[in-house]
Structure 1
Amino acid sequence: MKKLIASCGFVLGTLLSAAPAGAVPVLSFTPSSTHINVGDSVTIDATVSGLGAEILSAYDLNFTYDPALLNWQVITQFISPFNVNFSAISGFDNVVQGDLGFFLNSLDTDADLAANQPDSFLLFRFTLQGMTDGVTTFTLGPDLDFDRNFVGLDAQTLDLLIGTACVAVGTGQCRIVLPEPPVYALLGLALAAAALTRTRRRSASTA
């Protein structure tokens, strides 16, 4: 038993120490879950974090939600994190309720962005009004080319983990979901493998 615990502790330590090196940038939404009354408004921030050695030099994004439940009122697209001189081509790609599209292409070099762009920054701020009872998610569309296209160093695709915001209106309720972090899933596999190996050794010794 002590050997099993020690081996599992070693596996967990290895996973935790290796996790930051393989960290992926994240687009998160704040608040991730909220409730408003019909007629009230909610403000949702979309933030990029964990860029590390990467940069964000361009994007083509579409934010989606149920237009029967929410109507956008104010949208702020933050340009300043991309460079010192605010030199970027940006604007609306689509402003239809339920499908808000934006694009941006920085005019600075990768070296300038790497030197001046922070690791984490606010990308968008949305203010939306609740229209009727129900629940909707606020996130990016599924298309990798036109809904969630992020560009990093050397004009290469930048992979981000995409979060989701749940907005409940009136009688609607957001379900609480507790996702299992990958490190715990890997730890579970390691524990199962260690237990299986121990069981097989015990069976072999008693055979």
Structure 2
Amino acid sequence: MIKQLKAGLAGIALCAASGIADASIDLRFAPLSQTADAIEIGLRISGLGDDALGTYDFNIQFDPTHLAFASVAFGDPFLGDELDVFDLGGNSVAADLLAPGVLNLFESSLDEPADLQALQADSFTLAIIRFNVLSSGSSELELLINSLADAGGDALSANTAPLTVNPVAAVPLPGMFWPMVAGFCVALKRLRV
């Protein structure tokens, strides 16, 4: 009985240690720009080390009362699409709203594993997501990993963290005609006195 318990504990320790190799991979949201009408968020991966990313499938949850999905641009703005290292444009990509407040992002590389391994950067932006701002207030973006695999198709694990954004909706300004008329009238009165 004690031998079985020790063997079980050793197995748990080995399983826990095997996950540590992938624990250095991080997936993070990075706010890029914000206006009163829209906000752009980058989804970055870092810490790939000796691994190369071959495919991913994520769900991004957001508050649909504050934000509305507008568009997505796959790839890094400076490095290009690192899952398409030769920029041939043949990758399978998708960005779909599954439900209000749930955006699914998917990309699968068609490049050879050796090419991804040799040419892919250790850290890069996977996609830039643009949301329209519907109303002011705090909104949390949460990343759920459906699948994440290396160039050979083996599963990877990664650390994730939510991001809280505080979009500020545009405040309608009053028409400028009447304030200008009022100011003009005050200036005329002062000139007459």
TM-score with structure 2 length normalisation?
0.64
1:24 matched to which residue of 2?
A: 24
1:81 matched to which residue of 2?
A: 82
Aligned 1:122-133 pairs, distance under 5 A: 122-133=125-136
- Pairs aligned (count): 144
1:48 matched to which residue of 2?
A: 45
Paired residue secondary structure (2:111)? coil
Kindly indicate whether the alpha-carbon contact (under 8 Å) linking 2:25 and 2:159 is maintained by their aligned counterparts in 1: yes
Identify unmatched segments of 5+ residues in structure 2.
Answer: 1-20, 170-193
Structure 1, residues 74-130: CA drift from partner, whole Å, max 9, x if none? Answer: 321227211213442222343654111122221122111101111111111122232
1:161 aligns with 2:149: no
Kindly indicate whether the alpha-carbon contact (under 8 Å) linking 2:26 and 2:47 is maintained by their aligned counterparts in 1: yes
* Alignment partners' CA distance in 1, 2:150 and 2:61: 23
* Alignment partners' CA distance in 2, 1:101 and 1:70: 15
1:151 aligns with 2:149: yes
Rg: which structure is higher? 2
2:113 matched to which residue of 1?
A: 110
Runs of 4+ in 1 over 3 A off after TM superposition: 93-97
Match of 2:69 among 69, 72, 79: 72
Paired residue secondary structure (1:30)? strand
Aligned-CA RMSD value: 2.8
Kindly indicate whether the alpha-carbon contact (under 8 Å) linking 2:23 and 2:159 is maintained by their aligned counterparts in 1: no
Mean Cα deviation higher: 96-105 or 157-166 = 96-105
Kindly indicate whether the alpha-carbon contact (under 8 Å) linking 1:72 and 1:128 is maintained by their aligned counterparts in 2: yes
Identify unmatched segments of 5+ residues in structure 1.
Answer: 1-20, 142-146, 172-207
Calculate percent identity across the aligned residue pairs. 27
Residues 133 and 92 of structure 1: is their aligned pair in 2 closer, same or farther, counting only changes over 3 Å?
closer
